[in-house]
């Protein structure tokens, strides 16, 4: 933890930046651009970095909306990860407590990435300023990472070597709670299964048809039977992305289904994906159709770093709680009233929330916003979601925290997230996260022993097996994605 004088100076710098940067977050909320289409959002972030003296390299890893901003010199090289992609079909008006589309069918920031990207940006800029003002060495980087929702932008950046010389990476995520939770996320693989059959008149000559839609449906049935015979911590999800047309009296000659295969380790995910492939081939055989299996993208499971996570937790304790006021609480109460008690309890369970550090009380959701700080247990928890932060964690020590931008009970990828994305409470929590990340970055820049301990833990956890990117070299980012995007993403 930085000394009190340094911490006060750093956090004051962040408070000074906050008004302009909350405006940037709101602008990105308004833009709500989907994976690999975040052109205006990326431009806004790039221009802000340049205004604050950062040099910026754009088009990282062949992605037009990926970039890296850099400031400072020497070691250590500290990375702050930013995201700014939205979700399809999540249009929602801000600052209201009912589901109401702003524009029918439009996208929305259903995972809070407008806040995530800007919070990390404030941290990077404020820390760079502090190091320069105090004559301290260190290179600060802001990584503009597109397509987290179903695009695995960071995985492509890792594959391109963008993190090869980074000493540590820090990030955060909007949530209903304040604090650090060490997690073991699931590795994920995404495949499209494209079936090709033969069209025919469904009444006059059905015997001449070979239904690609039948093949998709049989595949889905087969995978449902497979679920009983796979490891319990694995997950398999699907969405029919092309049903072959809207005419019922035509044997569908084409159909497509997208599958996500998740497992605690990438090796397990690959093995399970091969079994799903076999089911698809069997469905094609049963229906007399052909199947093309098209790899889309992937993300590796997280490698937690307790050393860095504990450092963030200590800084959160020093900073204190988020300064919510009664107006923040009142809006959060209205949002929380849209949830059942079961949903609120589920949210607390999902985030493994138990004791509060500041109050020493159990967190039960009786207050609509988290006013304290969750206890950090010092060990990892299983979490069924996936993130491309996992691939960054495989090539450099990485840690992340949460900040309470949402009312307790809020689940990601819901209209309630979008409705709260421009709220005063969300702005305050975003600034709070920036303070935690920047102060931890300062720890890394001024305490070689902390970085050495984090690196040693990372090396021991990684073991002797080198990182192998799960995305083949011939797969290009966004190659299969239209501007329609992916509503549910990886998370």
Q: Which residue in the block uniquely carries the two structure tokens 């398999």? A: 236
Contact at 8 Å (CB) between 410 and 416?
A: yes
- Looking at the structure, give the CATH architecture of the domain made up of residues 4-184+302-462: 3-Layer(aba) Sandwich (3.40)
DSSP conformational letter for 228? G
Q: Residue 347: what pLDDT?
A: 82
Contact 383, 301 (CB under 8 A): no
Domains 4-184+302-462 and 187-299 share a fold: no
Helix (H, G, I), strand (E, B) or coil at 292: strand
Task: State the burial class of residue 336 (Cβ atoms within 10 Å of its Cβ: 0-12, 13-18, 19+).
Answer: buried
| CA terminus-to-terminus distance, the chain | 31
Domain ranges of the chain: 4-184+302-462, 187-299
**Taking a C-beta distance cutoff of 8 angstroms, is the pair 135, 108 a contact?**
no
Residue 162: C-alpha distances to residues 68, 156, 219, 451 (Å): 9, 9, 38, 20
DSSP annotation of 55 reads E
Q: Can you give the pLDDT at residue 483?
A: 40
Tens-place pLDDT, residues 363-389: 777 889 999 999 898 888 877 789 999
Judging by beta carbons within 10 Å of its beta carbon (0-12, 13-18, 19+), is residue 10 exposed, middle or buried?
buried
| Per-residue pLDDT at 481 | 55
CA atoms within 13 Å, Cβ hemisphere of 195:
38
- For the domain made up of 187-299, give the CATH fold: Alpha-Beta Plaits (3.30.70)
- Give the list of residues 6+ apart from residue 457 with CB closer than 8 angstroms, or none: 305, 306, 307, 397
- Distance, in Å, from the CA atom of 100 to the CA atom of 178, rounded to the nearest integer, reads 28
pLDDT beneath 70: ranges in the chain: 352, 354, 361, 480-491
* pLDDT at position 354: 67
CB atoms within 10 A of CB 271: 15
Tell me the pLDDT tens digit for each residue of 195-204: 999 999 999 9
pTM of the full predicted structure? Answer: 0.93
What span, in angstroms and rounded, lies between the C-alpha atoms of 89 and 94? Answer: 15
C-alpha 391, offset from chain centre: 12
Which residues contact residue 165 at a Cβ distance below 8 angstroms, ignoring those fewer than 6 apart?
77
């Amino acid at each position: 933890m930085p000394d009190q004088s340094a911490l006060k100076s750093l956090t004051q710098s962040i408070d000074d930046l906050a008004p302009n940067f909350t405006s940037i977050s709101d602008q990105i909320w308004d833009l709500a651009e989907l994976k690999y289409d975040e052109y205006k959002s990326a431009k806004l972030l790039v221009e802000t970095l340049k205004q604050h003296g950062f040099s910026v390299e754009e088009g990282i890893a062949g992605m037009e909306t990926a970039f890296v901003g850099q400031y400072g010199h020497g070691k250590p090289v500290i990375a702050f990860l930013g995201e700014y992609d939205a979700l399809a079909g999540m249009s929602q008006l801000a600052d209201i407590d009912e589901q109401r589309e702003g524009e029918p069918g439009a996208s929305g920031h259903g995972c809070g990435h407008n806040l995530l990207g800007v919070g990390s940006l404030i941290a990077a800029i404020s820390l760079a300023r502090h190091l320069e003002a105090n004559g301290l060495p260190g290179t600060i980087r802001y990584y503009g990472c597109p397509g987290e929702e179903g695009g695995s932008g960071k995985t492509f950046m890792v594959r391109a070597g963008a993190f090869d010389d980074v000493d540590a990476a820090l990030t955060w995520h909007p949530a209903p709670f304040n604090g650090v939770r060490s997690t073991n996320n699931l590795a994920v693989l995404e495949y499209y299964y494209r079936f090709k059959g033969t069209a025919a008149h469904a009444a006059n000559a059905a015997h001449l048809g070979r239904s690609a839609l039948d093949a998709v449906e049989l595949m889905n049935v087969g995978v449902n039977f497979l679920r009983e015979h796979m490891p319990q911590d694995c997950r398999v999800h699907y969405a029919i992305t092309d049903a072959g047309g809207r005419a019922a009296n035509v044997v569908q000659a084409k159909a497509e289904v997208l599958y996500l295969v998740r497992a605690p380790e990438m090796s397990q995910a690959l093995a399970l994906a091969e079994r799903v492939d076999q089911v698809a081939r069997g469905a094609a055989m049963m229906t007399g159709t052909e199947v093309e299996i098209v790899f889309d993208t992937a993300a590796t499971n997280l490698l937690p770093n307790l050393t860095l996570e504990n450092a963030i937790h200590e800084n959160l304790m020093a900073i204190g709680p988020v300064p919510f006021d009664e107006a923040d609480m009142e809006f959060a109460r209205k949002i929380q009233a849209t949830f059942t008690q079961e949903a609120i309890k589920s949210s607390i369970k999902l985030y493994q929330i138990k004791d509060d550090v500041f109050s020493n009380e159990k967190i039960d959701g009786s207050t609509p916003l988290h006013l304290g700080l969750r206890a950090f247990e010092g060990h990892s928890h299983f979490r069924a979601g996936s993130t491309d932060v996992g691939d960054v964690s495989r090539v450099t020590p990485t840690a992340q925290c949460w900040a309470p931008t949402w009312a307790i009970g809020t689940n990601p990828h819901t209209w309630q997230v979008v409705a709260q994305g421009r709220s005063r409470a969300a702005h305050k929590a975003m600034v709070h996260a920036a303070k935690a990340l920047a102060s931890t970055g300062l720890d890394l820049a001024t305490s070689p022993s902390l970085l050495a301990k984090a690196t040693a833990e990372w090396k021991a956890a990684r073991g002797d097996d080198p990182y192998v990117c799960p995305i083949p070299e011939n797969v290009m980012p966004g190659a299969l994605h239209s501007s329609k995007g992916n509503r549910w993403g990886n998370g």
